[in-house]
Amino acid sequence: MNRCGFCGRENDEQSKFCIDCGKPVVKGGARVISVPAVLKPSGAYVERPAGSEPVRASKGIPDTRVSSAAAPKEGMVKACASCGKAVDSALPFCPHCGTRVDGASAKRSSTATFTARGTGTGPKLSLLDEAGEVKKSFTLDRGEASFGRSEGDIRFPEDVFLSPIHAQISMRDGQLLVRDLGSRNGTWVFTDGPYRLQDGDTILIGSQLIRFRRLGYPGPHPPEADQTRRLGSFTPSADIAVLAQLRADGSARDTMHLSPARSVKIGRDQGDWVFPYDQTMSGKHAEVRSEDLEFIVLDDGSRNGIAIAVRGERAVKAGQRFLIGDQTLRVESV
């Protein structure tokens, strides 16, 4: 017999693994000691009859199992699922390979196995469905990723609105930056507060693309040679910017001129500029507000929000969404 150095169980000389705990049985790792008697607490010895079951001392002896390995009973022998050798189905582990064979699954900890990737050291993104629920999550282990229909680290091959290589997101100087890679339909970042419009900005409101352009400040009109006064509206006296609704080919359709101290509200059925045919636009959707000769766009409690086309790079924060093709992603952590 060869006694297990871990649990004290005696195994056959041919056993490579303990039949009781599954640990490797190393020859010479534990000395096999003949036990003709068991020490009583009083110190007297009691002879153990040959072939009898081992006696466990209640006191004074370590609680180790020293019974010999019983031969498999007839009808209880089965093949090990791992090595195929005959084993006693009543034993917990196979003596040949150490696989658990008693039919009971080993208890597994609910704690996940540690991996470097699992620590999630990079920024995290979520792909959202039409209801705003998370469909899939991504961790930027390298601190950056590119998106596209057929190229890039993250691909959406079924999205016909995505360019083959569309956009990139990367971590730099403590900021998460989104960059458009020359895509046909652009990359859009949803605002999380008032946004100051810059000349050439394109705004996504509902399904409408609206371009903001500065017109400059008109100079004074010289008086007519014959002193005749011109007719015309005096309020507003001058327009310094314009909003233009863009068609798919980039041409302008409707326009809304902006002047100092004039704010414009946009919606599906309420406001100064309405789009009753756009079901993705809220009744009251957005406002372009004049502030000190600057124009600020802000959300007016809409359902789908306002997005600005990325020019160059644009910083995004945790909780902010961005749109590429027909895919809406949200930054979960930076």
Q: Which amino acid is at 108?
A: R
Question: Regarding predicted confidence, which is higher, 70 or 321?
Answer: 321
Residue with tokens 């992603």, as numbered in its chain: 329
Question: Which pLDDT score, from 0 to 100, does residue 116 have?
Answer: 40
- Residues in a beta bridge with 268: none
Distances (CA, A) of 47 to 36, 38, 56, 61, 242: 6, 7, 14, 16, 108
DSSP 203-266: EEETTEEEEEEE---PPPPPPPTT-PPPP---SS----EEEEEE-TTS-EEEEEEE-TT--EEE
Question: Which pLDDT score, from 0 to 100, does residue 15 have?
Answer: 80
pLDDT at 163 over 90: yes
Quote the CA–CA distance of 28 and 190 in Å, as a whole number.
70
Quote the CA–CA distance of 186 and 278 in Å, as a whole number.
21
Question: Which pLDDT score, from 0 to 100, does residue 106 have?
Answer: 40
Question: Which pLDDT score, from 0 to 100, does residue 25 have?
Answer: 67
Arithmetic mean of pLDDT, 149-176? 95
What percent of the chain stands above pLDDT 70?
72
Question: Which pLDDT score, from 0 to 100, does residue 117 have?
Answer: 43
Quote the CA–CA distance of 289 and 243 in Å, as a whole number.
12
Q: Is residue 118 helix, strand or coil? A: helix
Residues 6+ apart with CB under 8 A from 98: 16, 17, 18, 22, 23, 24
- 56-86 pLDDT, tens digit each: 444 443 443 433 444 444 446 778 876 778 8
pLDDT tier at 178 (50, 70, 90 boundaries)?
Answer: very high
Question: Which pLDDT score, from 0 to 100, does residue 66 have?
Answer: 38
Arithmetic mean of pLDDT, 34-60? 42
Q: Which CATH class is domain 124-217+236-333?
A: mainly beta
Residue ranges of domains in the chain: 1-105, 124-217+236-333
CA dihedral sign, ordered 89, 92, 94, 100: positive
Q: Is residue 171 helix, strand or coil? A: strand
- 81-136 pLDDT, tens digit each: 767 788 777 777 787 777 776 554 444 434 343 334 444 578 999 999 999 999 99
